[in-house]
Amino acid sequence: MSAQEERVAAADRLADLLSRVTATAEHPSGLVTVTASAAGALRSVRLHPAALGHGPDAVGGLVAETARLATDAAVQTGYNELAKTLGDSMAMAVEDFAGPPPLHRQADPAEAWGATASDRPAHLRDTSRQPGAGDPRTAPGRPGHGQPAHRRDERDPGQPPGSRDASGSGQASGTGPPAPAAPPWSSGRPRGPRPARPRPAAPVEDDDDDFFADPFRGQRR
């Protein structure tokens, strides 16, 4: 089979695959779990009985918020499958007119932790939301999850995940608008802007001592 035929066959499989992609997200409060497709179609909504005690308005808000998380996770999974099947260059071309994947739009990485792809192992669901836990989507042995293959190497290791917003719309710590009033289900889980992680200072390039010690250093680079 030629390379062209392989690519056509891969594209055929991709269409079928993308139509079946779903993801499951659990609200940070644990009160709602939603499974949704990349088109936002809800496949299942599981409500914890305690959720009903928050009142009808809160229940509706919980489900809508969790549905967005699940949809974003499904879209992200679709992007990952796209990159794996068609290659990074084609995936980037799709991004050009379809917009950046959800992971690049999210300013708060905690929001990314709330969404889990349906094929994600169950043991990663709890650990992914613990503060300080490693990023399971970029962990070794998990290619194509969370971070698209064509973006996997762009992240600055000194920055938290999600801070490299391709559109520049990410909320910078302390410079964004004030956080809205916390909904009743978020008690005990502050989600305001996080303090910026200190970054190592850039090396000083105009050190006179270094220059006179080795005046031809720059020419050898």
Q: Under the rule (CB under 8 A), what is the footprint of other proteins?
A: 36, 39-49, 51-52, 55-57, 59-61, 63-64, 67-68, 70-71, 90, 93, 96-97
For residues 9 and 198, give the distance between their C-alpha atoms in angstroms, rounded to a whole number. 48
Residue 38 beta carbon to other proteins: minimum distance, rounded to whole angstroms:
9
For residues 139 and 162, give the distance between their C-alpha atoms in angstroms, rounded to a whole number. 15
Residue 143 beta carbon to other proteins: minimum distance, rounded to whole angstroms:
24
Total residues belonging to the chain: 221
| Closer Cβ to other proteins, 117 or 163, answer by number | 117
Residue 191 beta carbon to other proteins: minimum distance, rounded to whole angstroms:
19
For residues 156 and 7, give the distance between their C-alpha atoms in angstroms, rounded to a whole number. 32
Contact 111, 102 (CB under 8 A): no
For residues 217 and 220, give the distance between their C-alpha atoms in angstroms, rounded to a whole number. 5
Could you give the angle at the alpha carbon of 86 between the alpha carbons of 84 and 88, nearest 5°? 70
Burial 130-156 (b: 16+ CB within 10 A, else e): eeeeebbbeeeeeebbbbbbbbbeebe
| Closer Cβ to other proteins, 47 or 124, answer by number | 47
| Closer Cβ to other proteins, 57 or 207, answer by number | 57
Residue 66 beta carbon to other proteins: minimum distance, rounded to whole angstroms:
9
| Closer Cβ to other proteins, 82 or 136, answer by number | 82
Residue 18 beta carbon to other proteins: minimum distance, rounded to whole angstroms:
11
